[in-house]
Each structure stands twice: as C-alpha cells, then as structure tokens.
Amino acid sequence: MFGWSMTVWLIFEAHNLALKNWGYVAVIPDGWVRWAGYALAFGTVLPGVLLTAEVLDALGAWKGLKARPFNPGNWQPLSLLVGVAMLILPFIAPRYAFPLIWGAWFFLLDPCCDLLGGNSLIARFAAGERQEHLGLLAAGLVCGLWWEAWNWFAVTRWVYTLPALNFWQVFEMPLLGFLGFPPFALECAVMYNFLMALDKRVLITPRRRRHAWLIQAAFWLAMFAAIDAWTVISYQ
C-alpha cells in the first residue's frame, strides 16, 4: 500500500503543478534526504485514511447502519461524465473550480471499479450500505485535523496559496478547506479499490506487475523532481 499511496498522492501533486494551491517551505536542502521524506510522507496517506476508517469501524461507529436500497440504473456513464467535468473545470476556471479535484477521481474511478468487478462505493450506496461511507467521511476529517495540527508545529511544512476562500485559518488551512478532507477520503478509498481491482483483473502476470511498478517508479521520480522545481517555495 505504501507504493500505491505515493502514486495516489502524487497525482494530486501533478494537479497542483498547474493549480498552485499549496507549496512547501523550509524544505531540507539535501536531495536524497528530501526525496526520502517525500516518499515517507506521501506513502502514509492511504494507510492513514484507510486505517483510521477501520479503527472507527472497530469502535462501532454507525454499526449496522443501512438505508433502503434503490435502483441507480445505468449510473456508470453519468459518473464518468461527472468525473471528467470535475477534472477539467479546475484548469478552465481555477479561481472557482479548484476544489473539484477533491472529488473528480471518485466519480471517474468508481464506475471502473464496478466494471472490473471490484468494490464500488456508489454501487454499495445504492444497495443501502452506509457504514463504510460514513466511516470514510469521518476518517477524512480526523486525518485532516491531525495532518494540519502536525504541519502547524513542523519546521518543514506546507502552506496554502488558494485563489479564493483563503480566510479564517485553522492551523495553515483556511476553515472551509476542511470540507475537502471527507470527500478526499472517499476518493482515496476508490483509488485504492481501483488499484486492487486492476491488480487482480489486469496485472495478472509477474511481467505485467513488474512493468506497472517500473512505470510507477518513473512517475515517482519525475514528480519528486517536479515538486522540487515548482512546488517547493523555500529551503532551510
């Protein structure tokens, strides 16, 4: 999960190269140490969100909560269309649409999970399940508060450079920015589910898996270099 977590978070870092919503300050100047820090930080995003959701589930939060099932019809094409729109709009109107990246991949990849026979949160929602969804939403908020609190006291930290809604800060995060953490947790779960389905249904041979990991490794290195060049604001 560590490697997948790096891949998932670096997708958002790639978005940020264009959107410029955050940057890193007082970064360690030693390149190898800095890149190891990137790997450690980004590799714990998925485990942090998903393990927090499991802890909340083990505590019995929303245990057995269900709703009436409904028939969503042929929902996959509409979900894909919404996802594509949410992915494109932030680059067309970044001042107003930048928050949409924190939901775009949910709508893009959840139908792909369903088509691959994996765990689809939308399909499970339609089936009446609510426990996993609420657990993920709560986990996102818990992790968001935890990350922002740690970041506030850190020497090397991220700062926000949002084009709008940049007011009423709690730690470094504008207050309304915390609304992005719950849907981000859903997005993390869907991206993980998609990678799991891809691993089981497509990457079925050792050769394919090797190629997939090589592609990911190249992506990591390229993105680490891009972060150094365009997202880092200052060094220690």
pLDDT at 165: 65
pLDDT at 164: 66
Using alpha carbons, list the distances in angstroms from residue 124 to 71, 193, 224: 11, 13, 36
Q: Are 56 and 47 in contact (CB under 8 A)?
A: no
pLDDT above 70 covers a percentage of the chain that reads: 98
pLDDT at 122: 95
Which residue in 182, 70, 46, 164 sits closest to 123, CA to CA? Answer: 70
Break the chain into its structural domains and give their ranges: 2-231
Q: Are 112 and 194 in contact (CB under 8 A)?
A: yes
Q: Which residues of the chain have pLDDT under 70?
A: 164-167
Provide the Cα torsion 59, 63, 176, 83; round to 10°: 120
| Count of other CB atoms within 10 angstroms of residue 189 | 25
pLDDT at 227: 98
